[in-house]
Amino acid sequence: MKTETTDKLVSLEREISSERGEFSLFGLFLREDAQDSDKWDILVSAPWLEVNKKDGLEYLVNQIGKKLEPDELLSISRIVVLEKSNPVLQAIHKAVNVKHGRVEVKDSNFSGVQITQACISTSSAVNPIIKRVGTGQK
């Protein structure tokens, strides 16, 4: 994925965190078994996504659509919401600890999922705070 696209998504993660609450995971992952070598998955986990997955996912899709150009959107395969009990999420947390930064990972296996490359902006096992939407309060 192009650096400018990953920069936009890292920035978006910060914006969404300030609006909705912190992510415990936000990253781009290129799976080894991906049909297309340039189709990335966005993996996310956040308490506010678990509260209402449908609305949260819809919000994410809208925000990503506003941030990326149409040609950049073509490099995204899917958005995967991981629940906090998911073993893949737990394996990522054990391997990477970062908050609003950028960690590049290559040729790794997270609980049986082989990753060719990843760019992770947040990975933290600590329970993030959920913000009340529209109030700016915690």
Which pLDDT tens digit goes with each residue over 111-121?
888 899 999 99
**DSSP symbol at 68:** S
CB 71 within 8 A of CB 77: no
Can you tell me the mean pLDDT for 33-37?
70
Alpha carbons 94 and 31: distance in angstroms, whole number: 19
What is the pLDDT, as a whole number, of residue 52? 87
Tokens at 12, concatenated: 């978006």
Average pLDDT over residues 77-106: 92
DSSP 138: -
Reported as a pLDDT band with limits 50, 70 and 90, residue 135 is very low
Structure confidence at residue 86 (pLDDT): 92
Residue 117: strand pairing partners: 30, 106
